[in-house]
Chains A and B, each alone.
Chain A
Amino acid sequence: MNFPVRLAFRHVFSNKTRNGLTILAITIAVFLLCFLLAVVRGIDAGVRSASSTRLVTQSAVSLFVTLPMSYRPKIDAQEAVTVASEFRWFGGYYQDPSNFFPQFAVNKDRFVDMYVKDFEIIEGPNGITGPGARDAVKKAFATEKRAAIIGMGLRDDEKYNFQIGDTVPIIPAIYQRADGGAWDYVIVGIFKPLKARIPDKIMYFRSDYLNDSIESGEAFGEVAAGVYYVNIDQGSQAEMIATSIDQDFLNGPQRTQTVTEAAFASFFVSAIGNLPLFLGTVGGAVLFSIFFSVVNAMLIAGRQRLKEAGILQALGFPPITSCLLLIIEGLAVALIGGALGLALAISTQDLVVLNFGDSIRNYEIDSGLILLAIGTSSVLGITAGLCAGIPFLRYRPTEALRSLG
């Protein structure tokens, strides 16, 4: 091994307490940075993966005000609209309120075709899989009034373990049944999400099942559509179409607000405050404070190396050698800490997904984050080493030799 590298590494391991604590601090900082950025990127991934050829039409008053079913033909009639489906939040739970996952009431004839690019049907009725599964599920969804299509997470999670053909009782939080019981849904299809914004623990069922039950008095509530998801032609002007839809309903009974799917997804993120900015700021603050701690540790190391710098200069090494030694030492300490923090983030990834996957979607320590962690650690170490090493360039060998280092 090259002499400066070997000497620098000897120093790293010679002061085990100080460097150990510095490495621990960097480990925690890098872990937190990876964790927080993975959460932020997960949120962003949901927004980024939103379709550019899909609009969402909601009430101009509030998202919680539902649009009438009668709006769909007018939306369909818009130029460049290929298909539109009602989307209504159900908000029930399975057996216990803690077993919550999103459920939406959607159009029985249109929903499956609307999401061709968003999810892949992996299992249908009678165990059918592969390319034929989508048509089989589409058919079953149109035939069975209580039909439901679920994400694969509800099949794979032992807590739910829903299988094709299962009748799943969902206890309503909004639309109570007159008999006080649960809504029964029959699983006819299981899909795998192809876009980050679609969770794998979600259920879609037929809106006519909900509306007909309300209309017949079997359940309480209002016959309505909720919002409309609207697919438009590729290459069409989304903003012009959105304006056109909203103008159609300017005179009511409900005024509408139509936005792109990305804008709609952003609304949910911003509804809980600017979470990415907040988390990013916390991560940055942690890193910033750790930076000063590492610089401080390296300055102490530098002070202890002053005599060594004098010895090396007396032996004929240029002053830059001592500076370089501190940079290598800082880099080594930071990279060891960074690698441990990264290893911690990667090794706990499954644990985070398992325990918080429903809240923190798309959590992943990907290659971009790995590179960022390595880069950040390197910059941290080099900068700290430079802060400690640069003063060495000014010292005369006689001054350095006189120090107690």
Chain B
Amino acid sequence: MSQDSYIQLKSVSKKYSRGGEDLIVLDQLDLNIPDGDYAALMGPSGSGKTTILNLVGGLDVPDSGTVTVAETEVSSIPTRQLPAWRARHVGFVFQSFNLLPVLTAHENVMLPLQLTPLSAAERKKQADFALEIVGLSDRAGHRPSQLSGGQEQRVAIARAIATDPDVIIADEPTGDLDRNSADEILELLNRLNEELGKTILMVTHDPAAASNARRILKLDKGHLVSDEINRQASGQTQGEA
């Protein structure tokens, strides 16, 4: 693992069988993301963006190569232990929010906290704090159906940060939102990165969304074709990969 790599993919390959044929999604991919970075993954559909998120988040395992997050080789963690690892280290933000409709906003945020050794009072305090960060304290008792899309995604972000994970993985977090709501979510992700130091890996098709990230990684057919420092976000530029 390189000196400053927080997330490292080394010679990672992944293929899926579809209709009896093997579809190569990632092909000997190398990727390094430093601690506290905010990287946007872009590329056409089927380029392997979401697969990278799944591998980094421990939702899937590579066919070959290694995936390391915070000096832990995720790809070698036994399947049965992966959920516990995810609970401690990764927060997920999905395109379609993925809140449980039968629970209130507060209860949704409390969900991952159920897996922590915190007391009930501490869990509640933590969930209150997470909702406060995303500006939805006043909506804690509302169910997802009573919230707007932007508010739902903010609750999902509160849920993702409730356990104070190392990495936030966001899969098209603004894909289902209007421009204003999308801007609010992107602003929120910026704050999480800048103020709380969260490492963020975000998949997006939206150049406006990607422009908020410090790094923009472009994928095509399972290969990394571009790795740029976003001048707008960081004030620096790095060469093509």
| A interface residues (Cβ-Cβ under 8 A, vs B) | 3, 7, 10-11, 14, 307-308, 311-319, 396-398, 401
Task: Give the Cβ gap from A302 to chain B, nearest Cβ, in Å.
Answer: 15
The answer to whether A314 and B100 have CB atoms under 8 Å apart is no
Can you name 12 A-B residue pairings with CB atoms under 8 Å?
A3-B114, A7-B100, A11-B102, A313-B83, A313-B86, A314-B57, A314-B92, A315-B111, A315-B115, A316-B88, A318-B80, A401-B59
A200 to B92, CA, bound (A): 72
Specify which chain A residues have a CB less than 8 angstroms from the CB of B100 in the assembled complex: 7, 308, 311
Task: Indicate if B106 sits at the interface (CB-CB under 8 A).
Answer: no
Task: Indicate if B159 sits at the interface (CB-CB under 8 A).
Answer: yes
Task: Indicate if B98 sits at the interface (CB-CB under 8 A).
Answer: yes
A315 to B165, CA, bound (A): 11
The answer to whether A10 and B60 have CB atoms under 8 Å apart is no
Specify which chain B residues have a CB less than 8 angstroms from the CB of A318 in the assembled complex: 80, 83-84
Task: Indicate if B140 sits at the interface (CB-CB under 8 A).
Answer: no
Specify which chain A residues have a CB less than 8 angstroms from the CB of B59 in the assembled complex: 313-314, 396-398, 401
Contact of B83 among A3, A316, A398 (CB under 8 A): A316
A111 to B101, CA, bound (A): 74
5 smallest beta-carbon distances between A and B, as pairs: A316-B87, A10-B102, A316-B86, A315-B112, A397-B59
The answer to whether A316 and B84 have CB atoms under 8 Å apart is yes
A42 to B59, CA, bound (A): 59
A317 to B83, CA, bound (A): 6
Specify which chain A residues have a CB less than 8 angstroms from the CB of B57 in the assembled complex: 314
With A314-B92, A316-B83 already in contact, the answer to whether A398 and B60 are too (CB < 8 A) is yes
Task: Given contact pairs A316-B85, A317-B114, A318-B84, enumerate 7 new A-B contacts (beta carbons under 8 Å).
Answer: A10-B102, A10-B103, A311-B94, A311-B100, A314-B92, A316-B115, A401-B94
Q: How many residues of B contact A (CB 8 A)?
A: 24
- Please name the residue on chain A nearest to B79 by beta carbon: A396
A308 to B54, CA, bound (A): 17
A313 to B112, CA, bound (A): 10
With A396-B60, A398-B59 already in contact, the answer to whether A315 and B103 are too (CB < 8 A) is no
A312 to B54, CA, bound (A): 15
The answer to whether A315 and B159 have CB atoms under 8 Å apart is yes
Task: Give the Cβ gap from B145 to chain A, nearest Cβ, in Å.
Answer: 11
Specify which chain B residues have a CB less than 8 angstroms from the CB of A311 in the assembled complex: 94, 98, 100
Contact of B103 among A7, A307, A313 (CB under 8 A): A7
A191 to B59, CA, bound (A): 77
The SS class assigned to the A binding surface is helix
- Please name the residue on chain A nearest to B102 by beta carbon: A10
- Please name the residue on chain A nearest to B88 by beta carbon: A316
Specify which chain B residues have a CB less than 8 angstroms from the CB of A11 in the assembled complex: 102
Specify which chain A residues have a CB less than 8 angstroms from the CB of B103 in the assembled complex: 7, 10
The answer to whether A315 and B87 have CB atoms under 8 Å apart is yes
Task: Give the Cβ gap from A304 to chain B, nearest Cβ, in Å.
Answer: 11
The answer to whether B86 and A315 have CB atoms under 8 Å apart is yes
With A3-B114, A398-B54 already in contact, the answer to whether A314 and B102 are too (CB < 8 A) is no
A10 to B103, CA, bound (A): 8
Which interface residue of B54, B57, B88, B98 has the most chain A CB atoms within 10 A?
A: B98
A401 to B50, CA, bound (A): 12
- Please name the residue on chain A nearest to B57 by beta carbon: A314
A316 to B86, CA, bound (A): 5
Specify which chain B residues have a CB less than 8 angstroms from the CB of A3 in the assembled complex: 110-111, 114
Specify which chain A residues have a CB less than 8 angstroms from the CB of B115 in the assembled complex: 315-317
Specify which chain A residues have a CB less than 8 angstroms from the CB of B98 in the assembled complex: 307, 311, 314, 401
Contact with A along B62-103 (1 / 0, CB 8 A): 000000000000000000100111111000101000101111
The answer to whether B60 and A315 have CB atoms under 8 Å apart is no
Specify which chain A residues have a CB less than 8 angstroms from the CB of B88 in the assembled complex: 316
Specify which chain A residues have a CB less than 8 angstroms from the CB of B102 in the assembled complex: 7, 10-11, 14
| Chain B positions 17-59 with a Cβ under 8 Å from a chain A Cβ | 54, 57, 59
- Please name the residue on chain A nearest to B99 by beta carbon: A311
Specify which chain A residues have a CB less than 8 angstroms from the CB of B101 in the assembled complex: 14
Task: Give the Cβ gap from B203 to chain A, nearest Cβ, in Å.
Answer: 14
Which interface residue of B57, B83, B86 has the most chain A CB atoms within 10 A?
A: B83
Task: Give the Cβ gap from B48 to chain A, nearest Cβ, in Å.
Answer: 13
Specify which chain A residues have a CB less than 8 angstroms from the CB of B159 in the assembled complex: 315
A268 to B92, CA, bound (A): 72
Specify which chain B residues have a CB less than 8 angstroms from the CB of A14 in the assembled complex: 101-102
Specify which chain A residues have a CB less than 8 angstroms from the CB of B84 in the assembled complex: 316, 318
A15 to B188, CA, bound (A): 35
A7 to B101, CA, bound (A): 10
Which interface residue of B59, B85, B94, B110 has the most chain A CB atoms within 10 A?
A: B59
A315 to B115, CA, bound (A): 9
Contact with A along B202-218 (1 / 0, CB 8 A): 00000000000000000
A312 to B83, CA, bound (A): 9
Specify which chain B residues have a CB less than 8 angstroms from the CB of A10 in the assembled complex: 102-103
Task: Give the Cβ gap from A10 to chain B, nearest Cβ, in Å.
Answer: 4
Task: Give the Cβ gap from B68 to chain A, nearest Cβ, in Å.
Answer: 19
A190 to B88, CA, bound (A): 79
A3 to B108, CA, bound (A): 11
Which interface residue of A308, A314, A315, A398 has the most chain B CB atoms within 10 A?
A: A315
Specify which chain B residues have a CB less than 8 angstroms from the CB of A398 in the assembled complex: 54, 59-60
Specify which chain A residues have a CB less than 8 angstroms from the CB of B85 in the assembled complex: 316
Task: Give the Cβ gap from B146 to chain A, nearest Cβ, in Å.
Answer: 14
Task: Give the Cβ gap from A378 to chain B, nearest Cβ, in Å.
Answer: 24
Task: Give the Cβ gap from B149 to chain A, nearest Cβ, in Å.
Answer: 17
- Please name the residue on chain B nearest to A311 by beta carbon: B98
